[in-house]
Amino acid sequence: MNHHFPLPQGGELVLHRYPRFTDHGLQAWEAADEYLIQQLATQEWDSSAPLVIVNDAFGALTLALHRYRPCTLLDSRVSELALEHNARDNHISADWQCLNSLEEWPQAPGLVLLKLPKINAMLEHQLAALSRVMGPATRIIAGAKARDVHSSTLKLFERYIGPTHTSLAWKKARLIFAEPDMGKVPSPAPEVQCWPLEGTDFTIHNLANVFSRGSLDVGARFMLDHIPGNRPDRIIDLGCGNGVLGLMALARNPQARVTFVDESYMAVASARLNVSHNLPDALARSQFMVNNCLEGMGPDEADLVLCNPPFHQQQAITDHIAWQMFVDSKRVLRRGGELLLVANRHLDYHQKLKRLFGNQRVVASNRKFVILKAIKNT
């Protein structure tokens, strides 16, 4: 796998996904990153004003343009760690500002480089934020795989920013150019999406970048019926998303403490919002953590880990995140502690759990999903 990202002015960066030992042959940048960097050689922009880089998954844009001291906006703790590690590998000092998705953008940027996020609601959230800070001289260029740039995408840019056009495709990537229309009224942040959780009195709140934002995903729905009750456990909702599994664990286990963990700032904020709104008295039994899986947590810190693992990183399908979740879960569980997970049947996590824990059993299954339990015996 090529780890050498070419720079137009000469030289290259060595870039890896994070964690590095789980690269699995996946490249740490896209053709759209190269296209954006090349495009800047033909663009004029006010380099004395802030350079804002949005959704730079593994640091390619930030490191290539580090001399401008950019402001990098991310919703992902994994992306933050990738940027830190790739900077160290390339002997680049961290002279940029890193903001998470819940923080305010800098005013009147000279240039905004935006990689299209996977979720359309997140793009709307980011374009609305940009509409509130852009100035008449702000240059705005977005990049993505050509297949991900639709007429509806361009309409969002026109709605929030102003006149929009696209580049020709290059290496199956395309750029979007938007010109600020200062006659537009700046857009407030889109409303938090809410829906009732069937069979309960709960209302689930979802910020823009939460997986399955519009409804309960079918895997989580299946898992809810199998969350144990009346246990005084230390429970972790790993990869919590909006926190629906941990919320149910709090409700069914009034003596338990639940830690909600996700690599997305918006996911953890959604989980906190859902506990605050639905079970305010349980906040004292709740902890919320933005983290790369269970990094930094020691042994014997949990009795039960609940997990609905993803099988993708950014746009790439991969099982390495699930494997890291399983390994971390075994480390933090006490002896006799349990990992309870839901997954698509075809992913065949049975063998992975048996190899790691030495045991596993099927708790429940249906046509599409399986719920598995593994116990830490050693």
Taking only the tens place, the pLDDT of each residue in 60-99 is 999 999 999 999 999 999 999 999 999 999 999 988 999 9
At residue 219's C-alpha, the angle toward residues 348 and 374, to 5°, is 50
Query: CB within 8 A of 366, min separation 6: which ones?
Result: 222
Q: Would the pTM of this model clear 0.75, i.e. be above it?
A: yes
User: Taking Cα atoms as reference points, which of 268, 267, 305, 273 lies closest to residue 289?
Assistant: 268
pLDDT of residue 21: 62
- Token match 């790739």: residue? 86
pLDDT value of residue 185: 94
- pLDDT, position 313: 42
- What pLDDT score does 317 carry? 44
Look at the block and give the residue holding tokens 């998954």: 57
pLDDT of res. 314: 46
| Rg of the chain (C-alpha set) | 22
Number of neighbours of residue 140 by Cβ within 10 angstroms: 23
Place of tokens 């949005």: 54
In which residue are the tokens 């780890």 written? 3
Helix (H, G, I), strand (E, B) or coil at 318: coil
Residue 242's Cα: distance from chain center in Å?
Answer: 12
Tell me, what's the pLDDT at 316? Answer: 46
Give me 272's structure tokens.
């906190």
Within the chain, which residues score under 50 in pLDDT?
312-317
User: What 3-state DSSP class applies to 132?
Assistant: helix
- pLDDT at residue number 212: 80
Tokens linked to 196: 């009732």
